[in-house]
Amino acid sequence: MDIFVSELKRQMRAKRFILYILIAIILGGLWAWFIIGGRTEGFMMTGCYKELKGMEAIETAAKDRNIYAGEMTVDNFQRSCEVFLDSIKEKDGESDIIMNDELLKLAVYADTLIMQDYRLKKMFGDDNLDSWFPRDFGSHFYENEELYYQKLIDINTKNQAEKELALKMWNEVEKPYTYYGGFEVWRDGVEHIQIFGFVLLIMVGFFSSGIIAKDKECGLDEIISTTSGGRRKLLFAKLFIPIIMGLLIYTVGMGTYIGILKHFLPANALKTSIQVCGGATILPYSLGDLIGKMILFGTIGVITIAAFTTFVSSKANKASTAMSIAVLMIISGFLLCLKGVSDNSSIMKTISCILPGSVSFAGLWFGMVQIVSIFGKAMLFFKFHLFISILIFFISLMMTSWNYVRR
């Protein structure tokens, strides 16, 4: 244990330690400020809340929208449908939406209806887009929702097992949906967990890359091997210091970010169902669940990249080489995940899974129906990704131990 502590002290010299932690905190603070401070609210380009920005806009909009918040009942949908249709004024062939108080309060409902209308028209392609939805559209909201998701699952699943899993997930979704004012900002905040995680991941890569390679560069490695304990005694420290530091950087950075968001944004908005948040998804989660999941992915991503970089560091002769490889891995994982989603190419998605650290971006698999079959067994794609990542983590640990002690 002595040797662990002294190695820990050596690796986390005051200046270096403070630098990493400080950068993480500053980035977290800036990021949260960027999410909250830059926020503007509106509805269908009508220019309501136009003069407000940041917290003011969020609070004003949330206050209006909280009047009908909670469970989204069919009655409220129907009411919003009527209010919305009444507010449309036809003017020489173009329709204008005239904002009124009631519509401001029902904005979330109207928004959800417009989205559903658009999706249904896109999927079935047999409606006239010139007109808005019919007057009783709101009262059929959940039936239409069922219709849309059944079809979506049909299109996106390849076999019976996948379909069953998807249906099971979809049936677990709580209906009626729930929402509370201010969830839009939270949604952006949750999405940014991944992007901020990407930056933190690179920082962890930077830290871990020198852990063994630097010893080799300055000849310390040779000296260690001649001591009575040899490298074997130091192995534990070498394996776990990057992981500890990685977790520390991630906790501090992400903690600052989430802490600031939690402090300023309405807490009950976290109960919002993710189906209301814009993207189509079959997962039965609320925004709060989503935060937990994203942070779990981020944490696993951080320890994976820490372990993997340590392995590269034990292999490479120079810290800079290890650093380049780590950064390259993180960036290709990031790019491939994005490209895999946008091209919907299963090959690219699978490749991106294998890249260490890419699990931090597994939140991308929450959209639509992302299910994969392995040996005939259906599995949610993000669980598969998580599994692969943990596998890589342990393989990296083993390879590092083998490499380090044997040399």
Partner 1 sequence: MLLLEMKRQLCTKYVLYSILGILIITIGLNLIIVSDKKDIGSSLQEEAVYEGDIKEENLLLALRKVRDEKSEDRRYSSQVFIINSLVNNYPGFLYTENKIEDYPDEYATEFYQCWRNKFEFLIENKLPTKEQQTALNKLNEVKTPFIRYPGYYLYYTALDNIQVIFIMILFLVTFFASGTYSESFEDGSMEIIMTTKNYKKNMIIRITPVIFYGILLTLIATLGTVGMVNSVVGFKALKSSFKMISLFSFGNFSIGQGIMIMVLAEIVGIFALSTLMGCISLKTKKTTIAIGIGVSLSVFYMIGSSFVSIPVIKYLLNAIPMASSDILSSMAGFSISFGLWEPCAIIFEVLITFILFFIVLTVLLQKEIKYNYKD
What token pair was written down for 81? Answer: 């449908």
CB of 323 to partner 1, least distance (A): 5
Q: CB-based contacts of 4: which residues, under 8 Å, 6+ apart?
A: 236, 237, 240
CB of 172 to partner 1, least distance (A): 33
Q: Of 104 and 348, which CB lies nearer to partner 1 in the complex structure?
A: 348
- Positions touching partner 1 (CB under 8 A) are 34, 121, 125-130, 195, 198-199, 202, 206, 209-210, 217, 318-321, 323-324, 327-328, 331-332, 335, 339, 343, 345, 347-348, 351
CB atoms within 10 A of CB 86: 13
Closest C-alpha to 118, from 102, 99, 137:
137
CB of 336 to partner 1, least distance (A): 8
Q: Of 48 and 330, which CB lies nearer to partner 1 in the complex structure?
A: 330
Q: Of 57 and 319, which CB lies nearer to partner 1 in the complex structure?
A: 319
Q: Of 331 and 405, which CB lies nearer to partner 1 in the complex structure?
A: 331
Q: Of 313 and 400, which CB lies nearer to partner 1 in the complex structure?
A: 313
Rounded-to-integer distance, Cα 361 and Cα 352, Å: 10
CB of 22 to partner 1, least distance (A): 14
CB of 174 to partner 1, least distance (A): 32
CB of 47 to partner 1, least distance (A): 14
Q: Of 190 and 323, which CB lies nearer to partner 1 in the complex structure?
A: 323
CB atoms within 10 A of CB 363: 20
Calculate ∠ Cα 90-93-95, nearest 5°.
40
Residue 65 and residue 73 in contact, taking contact as beta carbons nearer than 8 Å? no
Residue 226 and residue 191 in contact, taking contact as beta carbons nearer than 8 Å? no
Query: Which neighbouring-strand residues pair with 94?
Result: 91
The long-range contacts involving 286-291, CB below 8 angstroms and separated by at least 24 positions, are 286/178, 287/183, 287/186, 287/187, 287/190, 290/190, 290/363, 290/366, 291/190, 291/193, 291/258
CB of 343 to partner 1, least distance (A): 7
Q: Of 5 and 22, which CB lies nearer to partner 1 in the complex structure?
A: 22
Q: Of 145 and 191, which CB lies nearer to partner 1 in the complex structure?
A: 191
| Cα-based distances in Å from 47 to 61, 67, 198 | 13, 21, 34
Residue 333 and residue 358 in contact, taking contact as beta carbons nearer than 8 Å? yes
* Alpha helix segments (H runs only) across 179-286: 183-218, 220-226, 230-264
Q: CB-based contacts of 225: which residues, under 8 Å, 6+ apart?
A: 231, 407
Q: CB-based contacts of 236: which residues, under 8 Å, 6+ apart?
A: 4
CB of 335 to partner 1, least distance (A): 5
Q: Of 350 and 373, which CB lies nearer to partner 1 in the complex structure?
A: 350
Q: Of 38 and 292, which CB lies nearer to partner 1 in the complex structure?
A: 38
CB of 294 to partner 1, least distance (A): 17
